[in-house]
Amino acid sequence: MLSQTKNASKYSSASKRNRDLLAALGSPHWDLIRAPTIKLTLGSPSAMTAFTYELDQNHMVSPEVKQAISNAVEPILRSQGMEGVQVIPGLDHDGDPVLYVELKFRLVEPGVDPKILIKSGPAVRRALWALGERRFPHLRYDFNDDQRVLGTENW
């Protein structure tokens, strides 16, 4: 029993509860339950951002969903220099199916307006829910490195 108590410090409290439950049930494998590990992968050949995503090959994106997303963001973001939309099926940090929507922008002057940009998220969610699509859309804005943001002149 002493060795079990000694090893307990390396497990999270949730894992400790699970371990204690299995030990109470007489399971010989209580020590196999450990705190979950986090796998972080940086860099992706298709992503232009610093973080990546896990592709979801089991839930592909239909042309209707791609068109609905494009139709939702085009009227809002055209004035901000949006050039293209890419929709990629993926899994979020919990393993749930999601949609990664990458929005590509060209350089615009005098700058992009964040008050206009924030309207794109709700517009995409409304369009997807109207189609019955339940995957949450994660929008990523890919701006030119030299792009200015209006309202940040005095930062």
Q: pLDDT by residue (tens digit) across 1-50?
A: 444 444 444 444 444 555 555 455 554 443 444 433 333 334 444 444 33
Where do you find CATH 3.30.300 in the chain?
54-142
Q: What is the pLDDT of residue 7?
A: 42
User: Taking the model in full, what pTM does it have?
Assistant: 0.63
Look at 136 and 51; give whichever has higher pLDDT: 136
Q: How confident is the model at residue 58 (pLDDT cuts 50, 70, 90)?
A: confident
Return the pLDDT at 155.
72
* Tokens linked to 67: 């068109």
Find how far residue 142's CA is from the centre of its chain. 15
On whether the CB atoms of residues 90 and 99 are closer than 8 A, the answer is: yes
Q: How far apart are the C-alpha atoms of 122 and 139, rounded to whole Å?
A: 10
> What's the CA gap between 89 and 83, in Å, rounded?
20
* CATH assignment, 54-142: 3.30.300
Q: How far apart are CA 22 and CA 61, in angstroms?
A: 41
pLDDT digits (tens, 9 = 90+) for 76-121: 999 999 999 999 999 888 888 999 999 999 999 999 999 999 999 9
pLDDT at 13: 45
Contact, 62 vs 89, CB < 8 A?
Answer: no
Residue 44 is encoded by which pair of tokens? Answer: 């992706």
